[in-house]
């Protein structure tokens, strides 16, 4: 029976209950829960709100092994209800995308996407991203506090994805408007009508945009996707629409929350903030450390066992959901000594932290995300070197409370 109290006073049954119910305290600060689970139940069986038995993996070594284990699948066609519980009507639009595919479907989609997502393309986006970042900061008031999430972290990543897809001008404004409806209303039943309208609008728009790109390709990412390399079967229109959706979903909230997490981490660690502001050569390493320390993809790594899988003396039965707690693995002292300290001098982080996942589904957009973070932080350092948190009574931060317990980030980030 799980009753032993951990050093920090959290008993195992409390930790399991908090993670199962996704309690507000757990959302606010999940790390004590993860610590207890790592120490006492590193492969913990939960039955969360969506009702499907879930094994939560909290140790680095197990996370690393399972992320690369072909017996742990992602294909949503395999009849698992979880995807419907999580994505509802959007399942159809997301049907053909790589994040929810296994080989050989995943291998083909990933290969095509990777060919289009070249370092040259990403590099070419730099001046556009800088312009977008400064444009947003130009509009931030300096005489009163501003919510950096709304003013900066939220709009920028969607704008960047539009840039990537060649969606510009007035059309971009429309896409941003409808996509905001989708992200706002996904989890609110009251807004269901708006959601359907937005999804239909976006689906039709993406189909038209793809058609136009097929007729007149340029050198943007979408044109590269359309002009598939010869050895692969070309993407169908449905696959292209699905690819656009997954870029928007995978590349938007993750980056938004990560920008917020980085700024928050810096503002609550003034010495590290000063160090990196004064020595910009530290920035790439600092970004990796902040991704380890306060990563935005906390447990959004849904998979399921394709067969019985034994790990650490526990059998995860075929069909069970496997959720890898990246935020816990990244604070595992077995891998990262003194894990709760933000330390920009750690070495080899880029290839060891799991903030961008690991294995076949390793984040396709990682180079772009790193570029966006570097540009955002540099712009903030240059423009507002004296920036401070404007939430003195909320030193703990205003962290997302769910009901979707998979991302870690701030609802609001008031700064002055
Ligand atoms: C996959 C994190 C930004 C596109 C992933 C995964 C993680 C992740 C953890 C693996 C999920 C899993 O294994 O279940 C992040 C973080 C980001 C970020 C923390 C920002 C800081 C982006 C951006 C894009 C992107 C900007 C593109 C515009 C993707 C795609 C996949 C993916 C397409 C699926 C890859 C596959 O299944 O093969 N991301 N991501 N991500 N990410 Fe990112």
Give the angle subtended at the CA of 300 by the CAs of 62 and 239, to the nearest 5°. 115
pLDDT at 395: 57
d(CA 6, CA 26): 16
User: Rounded to the nearest whole angstrom, what is the distance from the C-alpha of residue 200 to the centroid of ligand 1?
Assistant: 25
Looking at the predicted structure, is the pLDDT value of residue 391 above 80?
no
C-alpha count within 13 angstroms, C-beta hemisphere, residue 346: 26
User: Rounded to the nearest whole angstrom, what is the distance from the C-alpha of residue 366 to the centroid of ligand 1?
Assistant: 7
For ligand 1, atom 43, the nearest C-alpha belongs to: 363
d(CA 204, CA 244): 12
d(CA 355, CA 338): 18
Max mean pLDDT among 174-183, 215-224, 232-241, 324-333 falls in 324-333
ipTM: 0.99
pLDDT at 1: 38
Q: What ligand 1 atom has the least distance to the C-alpha of 157? A: 26
Of 363, 377, 408, 409, which is best to mutate to test ligand 1, by the most ligand atoms within 8 angstroms of its C-beta?
Answer: 363
Q: What ligand 1 atom has the least distance to the C-alpha of 259? A: 21
Q: What average pLDDT does this structure show over 186-208?
A: 77
d(CA 226, CA 255): 25
Looking at the predicted structure, is the pLDDT value of residue 6 above 50?
no
């Amino acid at each position: 029976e799980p009753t032993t109290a951990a050093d920090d006073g959290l008993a195992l049954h409390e930790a399991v209950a908090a993670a199962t119910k996704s309690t507000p305290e757990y959302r606010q600060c999940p790390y004590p829960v993860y610590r207890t689970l790592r120490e006492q139940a590193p492969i913990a069986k939960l039955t969360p709100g969506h009702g499907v038995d879930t094994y939560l993996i909290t140790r680095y070594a197990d996370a690393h092994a399972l992320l690369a284990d072909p017996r742990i699948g992602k294909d949503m066609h395999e009849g698992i209800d979880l995807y419907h519980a999580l994505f509802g009507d959007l399942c159809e639009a997301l049907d053909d995308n790589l994040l929810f595919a296994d080989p050989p479907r995943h291998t083909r989609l990933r290969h095509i996407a990777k060919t289009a997502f070249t370092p040259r393309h990403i590099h070419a986006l730099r001046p556009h991203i800088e312009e977008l970042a400064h444009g947003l900061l130009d509009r931030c008031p300096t005489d009163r506090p501003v919510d950096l999430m709304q003013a900066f972290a939220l709009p920028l990543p969607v704008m960047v994805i539009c840039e990537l897809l060649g969606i510009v001008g007035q059309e971009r404004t429309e896409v941003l408007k409808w996509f905001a409806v989708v992200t706002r209303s996904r989890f609110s039943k009251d807004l269901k009508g708006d959601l359907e309208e937005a999804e239909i609008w976006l689906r039709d728009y993406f189909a038209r945009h793809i058609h136009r790109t097929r007729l007149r390709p340029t050198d943007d990412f979408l044109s590269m996707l359309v002009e598939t390399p010869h050895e692969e079967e070309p993407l169908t229109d449905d696959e292209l629409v699905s690819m656009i959706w997954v870029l928007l979903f995978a590349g938007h909230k993750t980056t938004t929350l990560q920008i917020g997490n980085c700024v928050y981490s810096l503002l609550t660690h003034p010495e590290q903030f000063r160090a990196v502001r004064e020595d910009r050569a530290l920035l790439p390493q600092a970004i990796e450390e902040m991704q380890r320390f306060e990563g935005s993809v906390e447990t959004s790594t849904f998979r399921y066992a394709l067969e019985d899988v034994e790990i650490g003396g526990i059998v995860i039965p075929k069909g069970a959901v496997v959720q890898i707690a990246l935020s816990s693995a990244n604070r595992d002292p077995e891998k990262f000594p003194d894990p709760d300290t933000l330390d920009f001098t750690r070495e080899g982080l880029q290839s060891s932290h799991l903030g961008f996942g690991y294995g076949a589904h390793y984040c396709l957009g990682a180079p772009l995300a790193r570029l966006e973070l570097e540009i955002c932080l540099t712009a903030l350092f240059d423009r507002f070197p004296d920036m401070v948190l404007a939430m003195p009574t909320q030193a703990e931060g205003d962290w997302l409370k769910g009901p979707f317990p998979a991302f870690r980030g701030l609802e609001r980030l008031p700064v002055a």
